[in-house]
Amino acid sequence: MSPALLNRQWEETMPAVPTLKTLFLPVLLAMSACSPQQADPASPEGQRQALFNQFLQHSEPMGGMLQGRLAFDGPAFAQHAEQLVQLADVPWTHFSAPDSENPQPNQALPAVWSDAEGFTARIAQYQSAVAALQQITAQGVDAPEQVASAMQTVQQACKACHDGYRR
């Protein structure tokens, strides 16, 4: 295609762009206004979701250090483990039965309530995995090998619960 022809085609398509933009912009705005639904931070859903996000804020860099995405920093790893222990008791107090008067976006499966015993067992599994990890980190860590297996057990405990109790 000659440059002149290309140029002409460009000029022909240009006016179409603002038209498309004006057409789609309101649609995009409407989507962003209602799509990422947030639970009311004061609701049980909002409170537990904030706590689970803190779980992630600590476990994510720990995983990163073990996968080599982040430089291994023993004291930082130990601090994250300490925080996971501190947090391991808290989200569960925010699982009161869903309030049909005030529904909030959430990903908890009904099994949390219909299989309360199984859910409690997953909580216990997670808490003991975190405690075992902290027993190691409390001694001081300087190599990933010292904590890799205990951290894997923690991550498996997150996943085991999500598999059965989270959408």
Residues in contact with ligand HEC, counted by CB under 6 A, come to a total of 22
Burial 121-158 (b: 16+ CB within 10 A, else e): ebbebbbebbeebbebbeeebeeeebbeebbeebeebb
Say whether residue 62 binds ligand HEC (CB under 6 A).
no
In this complex, which beta carbon is closest to ligand HEC, that of residue 52 or of residue 77?
52
Which one of 65, 85, 126, 141 is in contact with ligand HEC (CB under 6 A)?
Answer: 126
Q: Is 143 helix (H, G, I), strand (E, B) or coil?
A: coil
Instruction: Answer positive or negative: Cα dihedral of 22, 27, 28, 30.
Output: positive
Which one of 7, 9, 86, 107 is in contact with ligand HEC (CB under 6 A)?
Answer: 107
Say whether residue 48 binds ligand HEC (CB under 6 A).
yes
Alpha helices per DSSP H over 88-147: 111-114, 116-137
The stretch near ligand HEC (CB under 6 A) out of 24-32, 65-73, 74-82, 151-159 is 151-159
In this complex, which beta carbon is closest to ligand HEC, that of residue 75 or of residue 105?
105
Q: Distance between CA atoms of 64 and 87, rounded to whole angstroms?
A: 20
Say whether residue 122 binds ligand HEC (CB under 6 A).
yes
The residues binding ligand HEC (CB under 6 A) are 45, 48-49, 52-53, 55-56, 59, 106-108, 112, 122-123, 126, 154, 157-158, 161-162, 165-166
